[in-house]
Amino acid sequence: MADPSELTADLSAEYRLRFGPAAEYRQNVWRTLIEVYFGRFVRPTDVVLDLGSGWGEFINQVTARERIAVDMNPDAHSHLAAGVKLLRTDAAAPWPLADGSLDCVFTSNFLEHLPDKAAVTRALREAHRCLKPGGRIVCLGPNIRVLHGRYWDFFDHHTPLSDLSLKEALELRGFQVHTCIARFLPYTMSSRFRPPLWTLRAYLKLPWTWSLFGGQFLVVGVRGKD
């Protein structure tokens, strides 16, 4: 069995190798993504949880009454903004949160890092338990149906997911899916190519371009009333 301390050390090293050189650019990209698109899913009065928050590019910059980050990365605390609560817990284990305590769960490029679909199922079950009726889960991630072999270009991708398989998984957990976009954002921001932010703004406002460049799905579910 793998040593947990070795796994978290690997996670820390992977983040520094993959995202360290582009850290400032990624912050600016996420500021633009929130302003132009993702801000619509989070109200200023909401309690929002970022599942697999990484270095906090989303949770640090979104406006909400309460912000919670879930990540096992030992470096996570040093990258989170003041006021963001960090839960260093396994996403597939029971979350230390009360039933119906969240308004929004956001997750970006995280579910594919879980070891298998059973772990994804447990994480989605916890999201459903912790969300209020009418609460939203917003999922962004690489789409294996679009990317095929490129999906495996990252060493820590374990579980293949598509827009349709995630939609089905959410529905099986009791969510009503109202947004399911196969091609949304380009595949990765880890490359050396860093387009200017005005091109990202234009891209987000021209959905017809998504089918040309998108490699990540966007799936949004709502917890119904029990």
Domain extent at residue 210: 4-223
Contacts of 23 (CB under 8 A, 6+ apart): 55
Q: Domain containing 119 — which CATH number?
A: 3.40.50.150
Which residues of the chain have a pLDDT value below 70?
1-22, 189-192, 226
pLDDT at 34: 97
pLDDT at 2: 42
Contact yes or no for 149/218 (Cβ under 8 A): no
Tens digit of pLDDT for each residue in 12-32? 556 545 555 567 888 999 999
pLDDT at 55: 86
Alpha carbon 214 to chain centroid distance?
A: 16
pLDDT at 13: 55
Three-state secondary structure call for residue 141 = strand
pLDDT at 154: 84
**What domain count does the chain have?**
1
pLDDT at 77: 83
Three-state secondary structure call for residue 89 = coil
**CA nearest to 192, candidates 10, 16, 13, 18:** 18
**CA nearest to 93, candidates 65, 62, 76, 72:** 72
pLDDT at 139: 98
| Type of residue at 77 | H
pLDDT at 113: 93
Q: Where are the alpha helices (DSSP H) in 77-209?
A: 117-130, 144-147, 163-172, 197-204
pLDDT at 155: 84
pLDDT at 156: 86
For 177-189, the DSSP string reads EEEEESS-S-S-S
pLDDT at 9: 47
